Amino acid sequence: AQKITQTQPGMFVQEKEAVTLDCTYDTSDPSYGLFWYKQPSSGEMIFLIYQGSYDQQNATEGRYSLNFQKARKSANLVISASQLGDSAMYFCAMREGYAGNNRKLIWGLGTSLAVNP
């Protein structure tokens, strides 16, 4: 079973509007971390935002916020006031547990976002 599911292969948004990229996850571990990364066409993977499973508040970083709904196991990324430079692939990833140092990041398949002028 997929541990990280990103159901939107591609999304379009108008410049200056907000957009939500979906991510659902599956784990039985009470301790986990959720990450969003941006990958522009240049190929570099850019860290955007992190949410810990015990964090009480939704994470925010500038124009990025994470809509964390623990009971639904969803961690959607919200980008406010979209800019042309936001056009990229966006990956959701999860890391489980505190036991040991060798837990892999589990990646979704990504969502391609295109911002229209």
Partner 1 sequence: EAGVAQSPRYKIIEKRQSVAFWCNPISGHATLYWYQQILGQGPKLLIQFQNNGVVDDSQLPKDRFSAERLKGVDSTLKIQPAKLEDSAVYLCASSLGGGPAKTQYFGPGTRLLVL
- The length of the chain, given as a count of residues: 117
Q: Is 114 in the site for partner 1 (CB under 8 A)?
A: no
Residue found by looking up tokens 């860290």 in the block:
47
Name which of 30, 42, 24 is nearest 106 in CA terms: 24
Span 92-111, contacts to partner 1 by CB under 8 A: 93, 95-98, 100-105, 107-110
Give the one residue of 18, 46, 84, 114 binding partner 1; rule: CB under 8 A. Answer: 46
| Candidate ranges 10-18, 40-48, 68-76, 80-88; the one touching partner 1 (CB under 8 A) | 40-48
Contact yes or no for 111/21 (Cβ under 8 A)? yes
Q: Is 42 in the site for partner 1 (CB under 8 A)?
A: yes
Query: For residues 10 and 63, what is the distance between their CA atoms, to the nearest angstrom?
Result: 20
Give the one residue of 91, 111, 113, 115 binding partner 1; rule: CB under 8 A. Answer: 91
Our CB check for partner 1 shows the closer of 72 and 104 to be 104
- Residue 78 has, within 13 A of its CA and on its CB side, a CA count of 12
